Chains A and B, each alone.
Chain A
Amino acid sequence: MDRLTILIIIPVLTVLALIFSTKRKSYRVIAAIGMSIQTLYSIYLLLEYLSIRQAGNTSEMVFTRSIIWFKPWNIRYEIGVDGIAVAMILLTSIVTVSGVFVSWRIKDLPKEFFVSLLVLATGVFGFFISLDLFTMFLFYELAVIPMYLLIGIWGSGPREYAAMKLTLMLMGASALLLVGILGLYMHSPLIEGQHTFSIQAIAHSPMALSDQLFFFPFVFIGFGVLGALFPFHTWSPDGHASAPTAVSMLHAGVLMKMGGYGVFRVALYLMPEAAHEMSWFFLILAGGSIMYGAFGALRQTDLKYINAYSSVSHLALVLFALLMMDAVSWTGSVLQMISHGLITALFFALIGMIYERTHTRDVTKMGGLMKVIPFIAMMYVMVGMASLGLPGMSGFAAELTIFVGAFQHSGVLERVFTVIAVLSIVVTAVYILRVVGKMLMGPIKTESFYHMDKARWYEKTAAILLLACILGIGIFPNWLYKLIRESVEPMIKLIQ
């Protein structure tokens, strides 16, 4: 058994255990244990990875393995990780385990809920370890499909509409993606008379510029939809608003990062020349939607909508940084993915906790929560601060890296959008503080708010776990920066 497959095996075994268990109370325990093991294993993997690098292994990917599973098309189960993937895996496991804790008291169909959640997680883990485009795509689909069930069954509000919209838009994106991937396959180098889906092989002999120009938009938009690229972001506010807490967490925290990761690993890495040619167009889209999402968030009153638009803004920053095509901004972009994953997961977790107590998500109807639920309120303030880029929190480290990287491009277009991106932090501060001021501070508005449950242990566990990671990265970002930077370096060298 090789190291990476275990990442898939653990959730699959957990799913099996869930299916065969019959006690209602035991489902959540099984899920929690499974995901805790997964988290510990991810940490172990990180340490293992670091020690391998320490020992002088400089190959791009480590722990690689390649098993052919569909000979006629040369589709392989080809896996391997670099620093970026390791970091994303760690993020995924942390978000998943806190998602399980947050849904501790789920009432309807708990077994099915946890099974879907874990299948989703399996897809994400598979996605991050795959080095074969087709296998990657397969895992991607595996992650998207349970989303439909999770929102459609356990959601709230117009959940069928939201679930349908989300799934259809992501499926539409997958269709584009599939075209792109097949295009990459058809133009891939011949190895022993066969084309290949292998990312590494394609990266080392990219296709001709004219073909790249044709297929690049397919892949970029295909992954971009998942990364909430304007104007294909509208599934995200509706989807998040309707999804149950843990799903919002996983979705915004991890699934949307697959978009950024895909853009990075497939679109930019495999078609660098096209990326250079066409970056101006996508730069306008991404750079514009940084401000656009921020202003959009300014006018929302539903907590989840605010957060969804905030995600649009922050993920646009990810795409923006990726399009800058240099080592510092790429590193910053991956940092931002991780940081935003943690921050937004915590945000959604807290929103879920607040909603459970107030039965509303409308900020104008709340007030003075600081007095009744101080723990949750304080956590909300902290994560708000992290989101608006307060130093000492992960958001700042990521954004600063992006800005410094982006500022090294002296082209007018890049400069203008960099300035816009920097100024977006002001708008971010406004919409975050508006919520803090309205909802947490001020007098208590409704009589029923006086009697609220304090945070429970599982809620505290999830929140503290996420916040500890946010603070940890924020205070000591260098090890993570180094981890990512070392893996970005060879990629940048290859595409320039």
Chain B
Amino acid sequence: MNWSYTIWIPLLPLLSFVINGLFYGRMPKKMSGWLGTSALGISTLLSWVTAWKYFFNTPHQGPYEDITAWHTTWMHLTDRFTIDLGIYLDPISIMMLIVVTTVSFLVHLYSIGYMATEEGRNRYFAWLGLFSFSMLGLVLAPNLIQTYMFWELVGVSSFLLIGYYYDKPSAVKAALKAFIVTRFADGFFLIGILLYSYYSGSFLFEDINNIPAILESNGSLPVFMGLSALTWGLLLIFIGGAGKSAMFPLHIWLPDAMEGPTPVSALIHAATMVVAGVYLVARLFPAFHASDHGFALQIVAIVGTFSSLFAAIIAMTQMDIKRVLAFSTMSQIGYMMTGLGVSGIGEEGLGYTASMFHLFTHAAFKALLFLGAGALIHAVHSNSLKDMGSLRKYMPISHITFLIACLAISGIPPFAGFFSKDLILEAAFEKNKLIYAVGWITAGLTAFYMFRIYFMAFWGEDKVYAHKPHDPGITMTLPLIVLAIASALAGWLPFNEWVTSNHETLHTHFNIGSAAASVAIGLVGIIIAYILYKNPSMTPQKMSNRLGVVYQTVKNKFYVDEFYEGVTQQVILKRIATPIAWFDRHIVDGTMNLIGNTTVRISSIIKGIQSGDFQVYAFGILIAVIGLLVWLNYFIQ
């Protein structure tokens, strides 16, 4: 079967980027959006065709095959280390292909309406094209270096898109923060890749995941602090993943990244780029699982669980609708990490499937939430929940779709989030009760904060609006409707047949107890939100006042940002960089100048001899000649 056409899936967005970028000033403003959208439309079509062919139309016995659809040598470093660019198809990459192209296509379409009045639309669509290309390159990568390359490229496109409103200082700051924090993580990622590949002898995922072969070819691996070098490599790689996926403590960039245009947040900071870390761990899952009996995987689970709770707590206190969604994203990604962290391989691989399933459904409902929030922001010209209320009367389509997304993320059946979240909790329950408990509580918190913003925006008090809010045009509502359908129905997909840790069908059985427990806590969250926010009241205000310091701490995101600010400003800039700069200018350069100045000074002392009076010189010559004669006569035999 010929798969080589898949190369066009990433190439079409690239083409859109190149054309939009090169003809930046000359292209009609309307055209750039439609160009990007149609490129992505074709890519989406191709992705769905690929998925259909792969899952339904390829005769196979047993597990799904890994296919290298296309590849070329990018750099032939040594025979061992050859860096290829290629397209690697397996269940998870195809799943990501569907997610990325579809969401990207819908976001493109939505942006045509959303950005209709912006001056720099061409630039915007160029960056979107670049992002889509990079993200596709990332998910299709057959080796770690390609992953890293596109990993950096998505980082840059994220930087450019967050900083789209580049004359707004807060947007610039957010863009820099996003890039630098993820770059910091990527530094460790690269070290991890180098360390790991030193032992595995290859960058290819097939070789990297084959731990027994690595152990065999290396004899004994060096051990540092009780962990083998491979585990260290994996942990470093996970730091990279945690940076991109905004896991604690590298999450600080994600809330600020909301400074970008809202469709960008939907695409990059909800559905695709931020789940790259999850995808990376899933890619290397066999290695994570086998190295040191899954020690690295335990770290993944702990980080994921903690982040999901941590973010959910913060999300309850934020007033900016997009920031709530950002923390919600972080929390949900924490779930996915937890799912991977508690998973085994083969028949025990429930967590893996659940995690991927949640990634899939989350992409649908979180993109929907962001796009819905975009519609609200578009209508009321503010991000703050304080400026919203009773919007259900004005924006029926946005209202219904938003409600569906809220129900989905809260885990209410039969919406998509219920199925995937329940599977994760089930897997956690089998592995570790504490992780399960935290996940269960987080589920309740999630339902609460989602319905908090839902009630505050669509119900609550009737605000007086300067412009009467209304549902946006068709290019914006169509994506909302499509995603709402997906959020409602995606849960019924038989994911356990398609995406599993060993590419074979995983047999799951519906656990009624666990499902009931998670639905119950979800409902509790919704009911509390209903009581507090359905009708305007002072109760939430009073409660937060009662909580005092605790509330303030949470509202200020546990002061993690301030901590980082302190470290970078006080320690790195003031204690390291400034002294180095001073040292260089004054000590190192000072020494050089001292040498020069000393020479000048000595010469100025002895230059008096050189009076310029030739008669003095002549006298000097005379004395010298006489001296020479005397010396020759009396001292030389």
A residues with CB within 8 A of B: 164-165, 168-169, 230-231, 233-235, 238, 292, 295-296, 298-300, 309, 327-328, 368, 370-371, 385, 388-392, 396-397, 400-401, 403-405, 407-408, 410, 418-419, 422-423, 425-426, 429-430, 433-434, 436-437, 440-444, 477-478, 481-482
Residues of A near B172 (CB, < 8 A) are 437, 441-442
User: Is B167 within 8 A of A403, CB to CB?
Assistant: no
In angstroms, how far is the closest chain B Cβ from the Cβ of A380? 13
13 contacts between A and B (CB under 8 A): A165-B592, A168-B596, A295-B577, A295-B580, A371-B167, A401-B75, A425-B187, A425-B190, A437-B173, A443-B167, A477-B74, A478-B75, A482-B76
On whether the beta carbons of A407 and B194 are closer than 8 Å, the reply is yes
From B76, B153, B195, B581, A478 is in contact (CB under 8 Å) with B76
Contacts known (A390-B152, A407-B198); A433 close to B179, Cβ less than 8 A: yes
Contact A434 B74 (CB under 8 A): no
Given the known interface contacts A433-B176, A441-B163, the answer about A422 and B190 at a Cβ–Cβ threshold of 8 Å is: yes
Given A390-B152, A390-B153, answer yes or no on A299-B75 (Cβ-Cβ < 8 Å). Answer: no
B78 neighbours in A (Cβ, 8 Å): 327-328
Given contacts A234-B592, A391-B153, A404-B81, contact A429 B180 (CB under 8 A): yes
CB neighbours of A441 from chain B (8 A): 163, 166-167, 172, 175
A230 to B576, CA, bound (A): 18
CA distance A165 to B591 in the complex (A): 12
Min Cβ gap A264→B in Å is 19
Alpha-carbon distance A440/B156, docked complex (angstroms): 16
Chain B residue at smallest Cβ distance from A409 = B198
- For the complex, is B267 an interface residue (Cβ under 8 Å from A)? no
Q: Tell me if A169 and B573 are in contact (CB < 8 A).
A: no
Cβ–Cβ < 8 Å partners of A300 in chain B: 581
**Mask for B167-181, Cβ within 8 A of A = 1, else 0?**
101001101100110
Minimum CB distance partner of A434 in chain B: B176
Tell me the residues in window 565-594 of chain B with beta carbons closer than 8 Å to chain A beta carbons.
573, 576-578, 580-581, 584, 588-589, 591-593
Choose one: B76, B152, B180; the contact of A433 (CB below 8 Å).
Answer: B180
Chain B residues whose CB sits within 8 angstroms of the CB of A396 once the complex forms: 149, 152
Give Cα A292–Cα B576 distance, bound, in whole angstroms: 10
* Nearest B residue (CB) for A332: B77
Does any Cβ of A come within 8 Å of B150's Cβ? yes
- B176 & A391 in contact (Cβ 8 Å cutoff): no
In chain B, positions 56-97 with a C-beta closer than 8 Å to chain A are: 73-78, 81, 83
Instruction: Flag if A481 contacts B166 (CB, 8 Å).
Output: no
Cβ B198 vs Cβ A403 within 8 A:
no
Interface residue ranges, B against A (CB under 8 Å)? 73-78, 81, 83, 145, 148-150, 152-153, 156, 159, 163, 166-167, 169, 172-173, 175-176, 179-180, 183-184, 186-187, 190-191, 194-195, 197-198, 573, 576-578, 580-581, 584, 588-589, 591-593, 596
Query: In whole Å, how far is A469's beta carbon from the nearest beta carbon of chain B?
Result: 17
Q: Check B167–A391 contact: CB distance below 8 A.
A: no
Report the bound CA distance from A373 to B317 in whole Å.
42
A388: chain B residues within 8 A (beta carbon): 183
Q: In the complex the two chains form, is B184's CB within 8 Å of A426's CB? A: yes
Q: Is the CB of A477 within 8 A of B153?
A: no
- Neighbour of B581 across the interface among A295, A327, A410, A481, CB < 8 A: A295
Contact A392-B591, Cβ < 8 Å, known A299-B581, A433-B180:
no
Q: How far is the CB of A449 from chain B (nearest CB, A)?
A: 12
B195–A442 CB distance below 8 A: no
Quick one: given A385-B156, A422-B191, A441-B167, are A234 and B173 in contact (CB under 8 Å)?
no
* Chain A residue with the shortest CB-CB distance to B581: A299
Q: Which residues of B contact A418 (CB under 8 A)?
A: 194
User: Contact between B576 and A295 (Cβ–Cβ < 8 Å)?
Assistant: yes
Interface pairs A-B: 7 shortest CB-CB: A391-B149, A299-B581, A234-B589, A441-B166, A298-B577, A441-B172, A426-B187
Q: Which B residues are CB-close (under 8 A) to A434?
A: 176
A300–B582 alpha-carbon span in the complex (Å): 10
- Residue on B nearest A164 in the bound complex, by CB: B596
Q: Kindly list chain A residues whose C-beta atoms are within 8 Å of the C-beta of B184.
A: 426
B592 contacts which chain A residues (CB < 8 A)?
165, 169, 234-235
Partner of B175, one of A309, A437, A444: A437
Q: Which residues of B contact A422 (CB under 8 A)?
A: 187, 190-191, 194
Instruction: Report whether A478 and B580 are in contact in the complex, using a CB–CB cutoff of 8 Å.
Output: no
| Contact B149 A299, beta carbon cutoff 8 Å | no
* Interface contact A397-B576, CB-CB below 8 Å: no
Chain A nearest CB from B198 CB (Å) reads 6
Q: Could you say which residues of chain B place their CB within 8 Å of the CB of A385?
A: 156
Closest-CB distance, A145 to chain B (whole angstroms): 19
Q: Which residues of A contact B589 (CB under 8 A)?
A: 234, 238
Contact of A481 among B75, B150, B195, B578 (CB under 8 A): B75
Whether the pair B169, A404 counts as a contact (CB closer than 8 A) is no
Please give, as numbers and ranges, the residues of chain A lying within 8 Å of B573 by CB-CB distance: 298-299
| Chain A residue contacts of B191, Cβ below 8 A | 419, 422-423
A368 with B167: CB separation less than 8 A: yes
B578: which of A165, A299, A444 is its contact (CB, 8 Å)? A299
- Residues in A with CB closer than 8 Å to B581 are 295-296, 298-300
Contact of B588 among A231, A397, A407, A477 (CB under 8 A): A231
B166–A392 CB distance below 8 A: no
Smallest CB separation, B13 vs chain A (Å):
14
A481: which B residues are within 8 A, CB to CB? 75-77
A328 vs B591: C-alpha distance in the bound complex, in angstroms? 37
- A231, A233, A299, A482: which contacts B577 (Cβ < 8 A)? A299
A444 CA to B167 CA, complexed, in Å:
8
Bound CA–CA A230/B588 (angstroms): 9
Cα distance, A426 to B185, chains bound together (Å): 9
| Bound Cα distance A327, B80 (Å) | 14
Tell me, in angstroms, the Cα distance from A7 to B573 when the chains sit together: 47
Task: Identify B77's interface contact among A235, A328, A444, CB under 8 A.
Answer: A328
- Tell me how far the C-beta of B70 lies from the nearest C-beta in chain A, rounded to whole angstroms: 16
Q: Nearest Cβ in chain B — how far from A327, in angstroms?
A: 8
A433 contacts across to B, CB distance below 8 A? 159, 176, 179-180
Name the A residues within 8 Å of B153 (CB-CB).
390-392
* B173 neighbours in A (Cβ, 8 Å): 437
Could you list 11 further interchain pairs (A-B, Cβ under 8 angstroms) beyond the known A433-B176, A441-B175?
Answer: A164-B596, A169-B592, A230-B588, A295-B576, A300-B581, A390-B153, A422-B190, A425-B183, A433-B159, A441-B166, A482-B76
B223 to chain A, nearest CB (A): 14
User: Which of A231, A233, A370, A397 touches B75 (beta carbons < 8 Å)?
Assistant: A397
Q: Is the CB of A442 within 8 A of B580?
A: no
Q: A403 to chain B: which residues have CB within 8 Å?
A: 190, 194
A231 near B591: Cβ-Cβ < 8 Å: yes
CB-CB under 8 A from A429, the residues of chain B are 179-180, 183
Contacts of B580 in A (CB 8 A): 292, 295-296, 299
CA distance A445 to B152 in the complex (A): 31
Least Cβ–Cβ distance between B633 and chain A, in angstroms? 37
Nearest-CB residue, chain B, relative to A443: B167
- Asked if B77 and A401 sit within 8 Å, CB to CB, the answer is yes
How many angstroms between the C-alpha atoms of A397 and B83 in the bound complex?
A: 11
Residue of B at shortest CB range from A397? Answer: B75
Q: Which residues of B sit under 8 angstroms from A327, Cβ to Cβ?
A: 78
Q: Which residues of A contact B591 (CB under 8 A)?
A: 231
- Report the Cα distance A368→B81, complex, angstroms: 43
Neighbour of B169 across the interface among A231, A235, A389, A443, CB < 8 A: A443
Residue of A nearest to B187 (CB): A426
Expressed in whole angstroms, the Cα–Cα distance for A404 and B75 within the complex equals: 12
Closest residue of A by beta carbon distance from B25: A374
Shortest Cβ distance from B563 into chain A, in angstroms?
A: 18
Rounded to whole Å, the gap between the CB of A411 and the closest CB of chain B is 13
Residue of B73, B150, B578 touching A391 (CB-CB under 8 A): B150
- Complex Cα gap A390–B172 (Å): 19
Quote the shortest CB–CB distance from A442 to chain B (angstroms). Answer: 5
Interface centre among A234, A405, A440 (most CB of B within 10 A): A234
Whether A296 lies near B584 (C-beta < 8 A) is yes
Which residue from chain B places its CB closest to the CB of A426 in the assembled complex?
B187
Nearest CB on A from B492, distance (A): 39
